């Protein structure tokens, strides 16, 4: 496979969302219904390997589950049928998921009765399937609904909910050469307590788009510079969204960010907000550019070579099992993410 040059600060841990380096699409078509999941599901942790999509746990409308659902990514960027292929060691949702060169990590989460600090991990097999998940360590605090981002050298957990309060702590761990993680430690703070914020990474910066400060949804955009060594500068307020927004699903193409639905503090919405990614990695102004077929929040999102997929979610009154998708316009993304799970990103 040809090595893609995507910049020294690129984080391979969430390439299904961090598509600025290799997705040359310029827009999205209309979202339409594109199948169903085996169960109603929202706030499931989603990851992508070289060949498959995995939904890890989630909320089925009445309980947190431990089921792992998976679908094959077809060569044309569409998805095969989702089926149950295994289980997590515990019921879990709102866990922060990242991928390294060799492993999947689920960082904290909520079991349905308690927020936990457990780190669960599974090996990524050469065919893109996963080994069994096991508990391999702990975070410094119980944490769920934290925004996870990955740089070239580190994983960052930005804020989150401890089980009793939103926090502003930034935790970080080094990504080891073998794809394992070092210990998580506190490395700084956000300007406000924050959870359920939508996080993206561009070529030069990390952005937290809205979220909940522990008592209300907010519209503030916070950002920090990614340093050459993969650490982060201080987070500051750099603008606002058109409305208060949390629980929004986020997708990124080469030159645009899309916020898909979300919770405005009083209701679930179907608005699609978008902003241009500037050449220097900063963002333009967010504006409303369209709508989803239904009001939707806490949907799991991925991007393939040809489409953006929203997997389940909550329509404001109920958890649903609908899969929505929209075609990429003006270019394509990438199917085989194995390039970014190996040590050959330049």
* Residue 88 domain-assigned (yes or no): yes
| Torsion on CA atoms 247, 251, 257, 261, rounded to nearest 10 | -40
Residue with the larger pLDDT of the pair 81 and 179: 81
Q: What is the mean pLDDT of residues 225-235?
A: 94
Percent of the chain whose pLDDT exceeds 70: 88
Domain count across the chain: 1
Residue 18 clears pLDDT 50, i.e. is over it: no
Residue 194 domain boundaries: 27-337
CA distances to 91, 119, 195, 317 from 162, in Å: 17, 15, 10, 26
| pLDDT band at 2; cut points 50, 70, 90 | very low
Number of Cα atoms under 13 Å in the Cβ half of residue 291: 6
* Residue 31 domain-assigned (yes or no): yes
| pLDDT band at 14; cut points 50, 70, 90 | low
Angle of CA points 213, 214, 216, to nearest 5°: 65
Residue-wise DSSP of 169-181? EEEEEEBPTTS-B
Share in percent of the chain as helix, strand, coil (round to 5): 0, 50, 50
Residue 8 clears pLDDT 50, i.e. is over it: no
| pLDDT band at 16; cut points 50, 70, 90 | very low
Which pLDDT belongs to residue 343? 37
Closest-CA residue to 337 (of 37, 11, 39): 11
Mean pLDDT score of the chain, rounded to an integer?
Answer: 89
Q: What is the mean pLDDT of residues 198-211?
A: 92
pLDDT tens readout for residues 240-280: 999 999 999 998 887 889 999 999 999 999 999 999 999 89
* Residue 77 domain-assigned (yes or no): yes
Are 304 and 259 contacting, i.e. CB atoms less than 8 angstroms apart?
Answer: no
**Token pair in block for residue 30:** 């209309």
DSSP at 319: E
pLDDT tens readout for residues 110-126: 999 999 999 999 999 98
DSSP at 221: E
| pLDDT band at 333; cut points 50, 70, 90 | low
The mean-pLDDT minimum among 16-25, 149-158, 245-254, 280-289 falls in 16-25
| pLDDT band at 236; cut points 50, 70, 90 | very high
* Residue 277 domain-assigned (yes or no): yes
**Token pair in block for residue 198:** 């939508």
Residue 294 clears pLDDT 70, i.e. is over it: yes
* Residue 4 domain-assigned (yes or no): no
* Residue 241 domain-assigned (yes or no): yes
pTM of the model: 0.92
Residue 306 clears pLDDT 90, i.e. is over it: no
Percent of the chain whose pLDDT exceeds 90: 72
Which pLDDT belongs to residue 331? 56
Question: In DSSP terms, which residues pair with 218 in a beta bridge?
Answer: 211
Are 65 and 39 contacting, i.e. CB atoms less than 8 angstroms apart?
Answer: yes
**CATH number for position 200:** 2.120.10.80
| pLDDT band at 179; cut points 50, 70, 90 | confident
* Residue 106 domain-assigned (yes or no): yes
Give the Cβ contact number of residue 189 at 10 Å: 15
């Amino acid at each position: 496979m040809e090595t893609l040059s995507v910049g020294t600060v690129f984080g391979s841990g969430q390439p299904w969302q961090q598509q600025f380096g290799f997705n040359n699409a310029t827009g999205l078509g209309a979202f339409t219904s594109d199948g169903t999941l085996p169960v109603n599901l929202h706030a499931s942790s989603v990851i992508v390997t070289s060949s498959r999509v995995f939904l890890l746990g989630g909320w089925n409308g009445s309980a947190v589950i431990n089921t792992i659902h998976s679908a094959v990514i077809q060569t044309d960027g569409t998805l095969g049928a989702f089926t149950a292929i295994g289980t997590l060691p515990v019921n879990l949702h709102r866990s922060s998921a990242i991928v390294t060169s060799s492993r999947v990590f689920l960082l904290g989460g909520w079991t349905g009765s308690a927020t936990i600090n457990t780190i669960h991990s599974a090996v990524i097999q050469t065919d893109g399937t996963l080994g069994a998940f096991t508990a391999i360590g702990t975070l410094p605090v119980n944490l769920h609904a934290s925004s996870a981002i990955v740089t070239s050298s580190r994983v960052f957990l930005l804020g989150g909910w401890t089980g009793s309060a939103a926090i502003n702590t930034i935790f970080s761990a080094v990504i080891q050469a073998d794809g394992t993680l070092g210990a998580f430690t506190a490395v700084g703070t956000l300007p406000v307590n924050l959870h359920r914020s939508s996080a993206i990474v561009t070529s030069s910066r990390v952005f937290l788009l809205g979220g909940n400060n522990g008592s209300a949804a907010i519209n503030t955009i916070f950002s920090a510079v990614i340093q050459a060594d993969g650490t982060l500068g201080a987070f500051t307020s750099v603008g606002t969204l058109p409305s208060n927004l949390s629980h929004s699903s986020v997708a990124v193409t080469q030159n645009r960010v899309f916020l898909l639905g979300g919770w405005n503090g009083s209701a679930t919405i179907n608005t699609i907000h978008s902003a241009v990614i500037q050449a220097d990695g900063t963002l333009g102004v967010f504006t409303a550019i369209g709508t989803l077929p239904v009001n939707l929040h806490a949907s799991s999102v991925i991007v393939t070579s040809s489409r953006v997929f929203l997997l389940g979610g909550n329509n404001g009154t109920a958890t649903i099992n609908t899969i929505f998708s929209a075609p990429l316009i003006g270019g394509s993304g990438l199917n085989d993410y194995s390039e970014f799970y190996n040590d050959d990103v330049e």
